[in-house]
């Protein structure tokens, strides 16, 4: 009989319906059948308009410039033909196909393929299709419209995509199943899965841990810390954990709430009067919990710190940027992940503990005193210079030719001034202690109450929906789609991807730290394999890894075909030696033989060139952990301007005078 681990109150808290306080709560809907009887079910995000005409149901975002079409095509010879028919029925011209990649047959479908289309950067649009076959009939999901709205409404787009299923299909559920213990045989199964998965995905190394029944039942590593030295990963190897720092920052807040020094619903300006978000009216509305809920309506604005950060950038820069930023949606309306507000949260928490210290130092000290020391996380730290003198994993990524290589560590310093959002280093051994605290709801291994149960669980309450039965709390995410709650969070820095998971009803937890950009491809299969082992689920994880590895290989090859390395000489001749942008700072460009090297405040990369479908040209970063950054070349001026865009922002670099 599987033992339970302080789960009664946890189960009640996690059972709260995500739609109770969620962004765009899902409304079940059924696609209208056409004459052939083809049917699919899906969920419609709230506030999206729905219109059905014949075989096409069109969902339109509130902004009006993004549409999702669910098209019942019926019989077609293959996925490509089904997509062509779907675009015709949708009434939008099909673009040239850029990439077709298969996915494993899942969710009741016999065949699935994703199709990406050629879109030039200046269009600022998305165009993609997912083809789904059941028997002889195809259903095609089309996403078409503005890039900015697709970024803003990503959770809603994802909701529709993950809930399109054949009529009558019932998803697998683990509700009510008795959990298996992670005994020696099952641990061996997980270890075999991890080792085979990193081989297929090309991930150099992982540190990981498994927890069951109140103890760590496995901790160790697989693969290597550095492909140039082949030193092995072990349980104590340090990795950057990226946004998994956020949950630790909210644990600091939990302690401050327990101590009566803070309230979750307290206005931020009461504890830190200098705080500003956009205008005065918006600033007055911001409560402490809003800083860590991904529900404040702030879009990602990462390019400011990716491009314009050095080791000397002060912590106060977070507050300077927030003062100049306005939300693009109302509080609680949509899920938008923003690092700056969490950075502000951590520095405010540190300031409460040490009001006379510099903000960064105060945060570091507060985290040490309130989180790392109580949890005995002796190897977890924020000092990158110190971390790389120890047993640490080097960051890796694929280069332009598909070779896995080591990335320059300098790029990791960009997070230092914003470290409450993602700047910690940790090991599988230390992270297991953090995850254990989540399972025990704040009780140490020797029985000491470190954090109140209420404050630990408060971080799991849903603030905004991120998908089907999935919600974002405060630095934590909760997934109820499997019929049993899963609490987790991921983290990313260039060349480092990490995640952790707990299954509260089973008393099981896991940590996964990787040292390559490709490591993110292991997150969902790792969780799936854990669920298969704990709950005797259908075996899907291994196939998912194999299909993902093949998709990644296909995508890299397609990208490589479009790039000219070294860059086209006449285009390279139009580059200025240096560039400037008021928000993103300076770029410098130098020639190294026929290669072109671009440098920001903290990192450099070689460039390739690319011709776009509309006749424009771009430079593309090609070094490990930089691959894919695109700089659109201005067509008129000489020297040319360079434009970079994220989901909702555009930045033009002009030649420096």
DSSP string, 280-316: HHHHHH-BGGGGGSS-S-PPP--HHHHHS--TT--TT
d(CA 404, CA 401): 9
Whether residues 29 and 157 fall in one domain: yes
Q: Residue 481's closest CA among 82, 77, 163, 97? A: 163
Whether residues 543 and 586 fall in one domain: no
pLDDT value of residue 22? 29
pLDDT at 641 over 50: yes
Whether residues 133 and 244 fall in one domain: no
Whether residues 108 and 140 fall in one domain: yes
pLDDT at 416 over 70: yes
Q: Does 175 reside within a domain?
A: no
Cβ contact 368:376 at 8 Å? no
Residue 534: CB atoms within 10 Å? 26
Overall residue count recorded for the chain in this entry: 657
Burial class of residue 630, CB neighbours in 10 A (0-12, 13-18, 19+): middle
Total structural domains within the chain: 3
CA atoms within 13 A on the CB side of 317: 20
- Helix axis angle for 523-535 and 184-201, nearest 10°, is 160
Q: Residue 583's closest CA among 320, 195, 362, 272? A: 320
Tell me the residue ranges of DSSP E strands in 431-584: 464-467, 470-472, 477-479, 486-493, 496-503, 508-514, 563-564, 578-581
Whether residues 435 and 506 fall in one domain: yes
Calculate the alpha carbon distances from 342 to 228, 298, 413, 496 in Å.
Answer: 35, 11, 18, 20
pLDDT value of residue 32? 38
Q: Does 178 reside within a domain?
A: no
d(CA 97, CA 115): 7
Which helix (H) or strand (E) element contains residue 577?
none
The secondary structure of residue 395, as a DSSP letter, is: P
pLDDT at 36 over 90: no
Whether residues 315 and 412 fall in one domain: yes
Sequence-distant (≥ 6) Cβ neighbours of residue 579 within 8 angstroms:
586, 587, 588, 589, 641, 642, 653, 654, 655, 656
pLDDT value of residue 35? 36
Mean predicted lDDT score pLDDT of the chain: 93
Tens of pLDDT, residues 102-139 = 999 999 999 999 999 999 999 999 999 999 999 999 99
Whether residues 522 and 455 fall in one domain: yes
Q: Does 560 reside within a domain?
A: no
CATH code for the domain of 387: 3.40.710.10
pLDDT at 28 over 50: no
Q: Residue 347's closest CA among 441, 234, 253? A: 253
Whether residues 88 and 55 fall in one domain: yes
At which of 521, 553, 585 does a domain end? 553
Whether residues 318 and 459 fall in one domain: yes
> 582 by DSSP, 3-state: which?
coil
Task: Report the C-alpha dihedral over residues 624, 311, 581, 279, rounded to 10 degrees.
Answer: 120
Q: Does 320 reside within a domain?
A: yes
User: Is the previous residue joined to 566 through a cis bond, with omega within 30 degrees of 0?
Assistant: yes
The secondary structure of residue 368, as a DSSP letter, is: I
pLDDT value of residue 29? 38
Whether residues 535 and 406 fall in one domain: yes
| Residue 428 structural domain | 184-553
Confidence of residue 6 (pLDDT cuts 50, 70, 90): very low
Calculate the alpha carbon distances from 444 to 373, 434, 438, 452 in Å.
Answer: 12, 10, 10, 12
Per-residue burial over 304-318, b = 16 or more CB atoms within 10 Å of its CB, e = otherwise:
bbbbbbeeebebebb
d(CA 116, CA 129): 7
At which of 501, 526, 553 does a domain end? 553
pLDDT at 478 over 70: yes
pLDDT at 33 over 50: no
The token pair that represents 497 in the structure block: 């991807």
pLDDT at 5 over 90: no
Summarize the confidence of residues 258-281 as an average pLDDT: 97
The token pair that represents 440 in the structure block: 């025990």
DSSP string, 23-41: SS-EEEEEPPP-TT---EE
User: Is the previous residue joined to 273 through a cis bond, with omega within 30 degrees of 0?
Assistant: no
Whether residues 588 and 493 fall in one domain: no
Task: Report the C-alpha dihedral over residues 170, 175, 178, 183, rounded to 10 degrees.
Answer: 80
pLDDT value of residue 39? 75
Cβ contact 315:340 at 8 Å? no
- The pairing of strands 630-633 and 617-621 is antiparallel
* Phi/psi-derived region of residue 108, left when phi > 0, alpha when psi is between -120 and 50, beta in every other case: left
Beta bridge partners of residue 599, listed in sequence order: 588, 604
Q: Does 177 reside within a domain?
A: no
At which of 553, 584, 601 does a domain end? 553
Beta bridge partners of residue 66, listed in sequence order: 145
pLDDT at 21 over 70: no
Tens of pLDDT, residues 215-226 = 999 999 999 999
Cβ contact 533:186 at 8 Å? yes
d(CA 390, CA 141): 49
- Residue predicted with more confidence, 497 or 311: 497
Residue 472: CB atoms within 10 Å? 26
Tens of pLDDT, residues 508-538 = 999 999 999 999 999 999 999 999 999 999 9
Q: Does 171 reside within a domain?
A: no
Tens of pLDDT, residues 130-188 = 999 999 999 999 999 999 999 999 999 999 999 999 999 999 999 999 999 999 999 99
Expressed in angstroms, the distance from the first to the final Cα of the chain is 74
pLDDT value of residue 657? 79
CATH code for the domain of 56: 3.40.1000.10
Q: Does 415 reside within a domain?
A: yes
Task: Report the C-alpha dihedral over residues 380, 417, 514, 249, rounded to 10 degrees.
Answer: 50
Cα angle 318, 322, 328 (rounded to 5 degrees) comes to: 140
Tens of pLDDT, residues 350-399 = 999 999 999 999 999 999 999 999 999 999 999 999 999 999 999 999 99
Q: Does 292 reside within a domain?
A: yes
% of the chain at pLDDT higher than 70:
94
d(CA 444, CA 7): 16
CATH code for the domain of 599: 2.40.128
Cβ contact 565:571 at 8 Å? no
Calculate the alpha carbon distances from 382 to 239, 353, 360, 415, 499 in Å.
Answer: 11, 18, 10, 10, 18
Tens of pLDDT, residues 559-597 = 999 999 999 999 999 999 999 999 999 999 999 999 999
Whether residues 159 and 224 fall in one domain: no
Tens of pLDDT, residues 419-468 = 999 999 999 999 999 999 999 999 999 999 999 999 999 999 999 999 99
d(CA 558, CA 563): 9
């Amino acid at each position: 009989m599987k033992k339970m681990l302080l789960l009664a109150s946890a189960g009640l808290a996690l059972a709260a319906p995500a739609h109770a306080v969620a962004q765009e709560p899902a409304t079940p809907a059924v696609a209208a059948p056409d004459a052939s009887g083809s049917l699919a079910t899906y969920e419609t995000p709230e506030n999206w308009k729905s219109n059905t005409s014949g075989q096409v149901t069109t969902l339109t975002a509130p902004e009006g410039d993004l549409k999702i079409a669910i098209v019942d095509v019926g019989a077609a010879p293959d996925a490509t033909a089904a997509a062509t028919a779907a675009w015709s029925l949708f009434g939008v011209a099909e673009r040239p196909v850029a990439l077709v990649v298969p996915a494993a047959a899942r969710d009741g479908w016999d065949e699935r393929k994703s199709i990406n289309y050629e879109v030039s950067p200046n269009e600022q649009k998305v165009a993609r299709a997912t083809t789904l076959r059941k028997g002889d009939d195809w259903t095609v999901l089309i996403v078409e419209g503005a890039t900015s709205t697709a970024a803003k409404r990503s959770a809603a787009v994802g909701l529709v995509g993950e809930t399109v299923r054949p009529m009558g299909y019932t998803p697998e559920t683990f509700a009510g199943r008795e959990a298996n213990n992670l005994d020696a045989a099952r641990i061996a199964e997980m270890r075999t899965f991890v080792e085979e998965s990193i081989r297929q995905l090309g991930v150099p190394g992982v540190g990981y841990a498994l927890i069951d029944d109140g103890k760590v039942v496995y901790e160790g590593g697989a693969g290597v810390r550095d492909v140039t030295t082949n030193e092995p990963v072990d349980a104590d190897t340090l990795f950057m954990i990226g946004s998994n720092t956020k949950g630790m920052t909210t644990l600091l807040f939990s302690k401050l709430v327990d101590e009566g020094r803070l309230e979750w619903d307290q206005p931020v300006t009461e504890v830190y009067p200098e705080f500003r978000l956009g205008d005065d009216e918006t600033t007055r509305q911001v409560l402490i919990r809003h800083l860590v809920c991904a529900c404040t309506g702030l879009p990602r604005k990462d390019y400011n710190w990716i491009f314009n950060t050095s080791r000397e950038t002060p912590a106060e820069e977070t507050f300077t940027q927030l003062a100049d930023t306005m939300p693009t949606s109302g509080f609680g309306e949509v899920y938008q992940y923003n690092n700056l507000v969490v950075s502000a949260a951590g520095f405010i928490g540190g300031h409460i503990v040490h009001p006379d210290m510099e903000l960064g130092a105060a945060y570091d000290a507060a985290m040490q005193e309130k989180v790392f020391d109580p949890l005995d996380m002796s190897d977890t730290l924020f000092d990158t210079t110190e971390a790389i003198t120890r047993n640490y994993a080097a960051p890796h990524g694929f280069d332009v030719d598909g070779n896995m290589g080591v990335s320059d560590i300098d790029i990791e310093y960009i997070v230092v001034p914003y470290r409450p959002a993602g700047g910690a280093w940790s090991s599988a051994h230390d992270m297991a202690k953090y995850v254990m605290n989540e399972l025990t709801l704040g009780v140490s291994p020797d029985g000491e109450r470190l954090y109140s149960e209420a404050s630990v669980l408060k971080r799991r309450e849903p603030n905004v929906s991120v998908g089907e039965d999935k919600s974002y709390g405060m630095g934590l995410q909760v997934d109820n789609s499997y019929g049993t709650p899963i609490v987790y969070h991921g983290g990313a820095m260039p060349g480092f991807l990490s995640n952790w998971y707990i299954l509260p009803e089973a008393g099981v937890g896991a940590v996964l730290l990787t040292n390559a950009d490709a490591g993110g491809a292991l997150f969902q299969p790792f969780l799936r394999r854990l669920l298969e082992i704990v709950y005797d689920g259908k075996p899907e994880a291994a196939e998912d890894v194999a299909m993902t590895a093949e998709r990644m290989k296909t995508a890299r090859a397609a990208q490589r075909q479009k790039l000219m390395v070294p860059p086209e000489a006449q285009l390279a001749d139009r580059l200025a030696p240096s560039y400037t942008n008021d928000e993103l700072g300076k770029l410098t460009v130098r020639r190294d033989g026929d290669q072109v090297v671009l440098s920001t405040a903290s990192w450099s990369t070689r460039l390739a060139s690319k011709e776009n479908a509309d006749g424009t040209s771009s430079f593309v970063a090609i070094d490990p952990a930089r691959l894919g950054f695109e700089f659109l070349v201005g067509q008129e001026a000489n020297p040319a301007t360079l434009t970079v865009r994220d989901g909702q922002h555009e930045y033009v670099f002009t030649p420096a005078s």
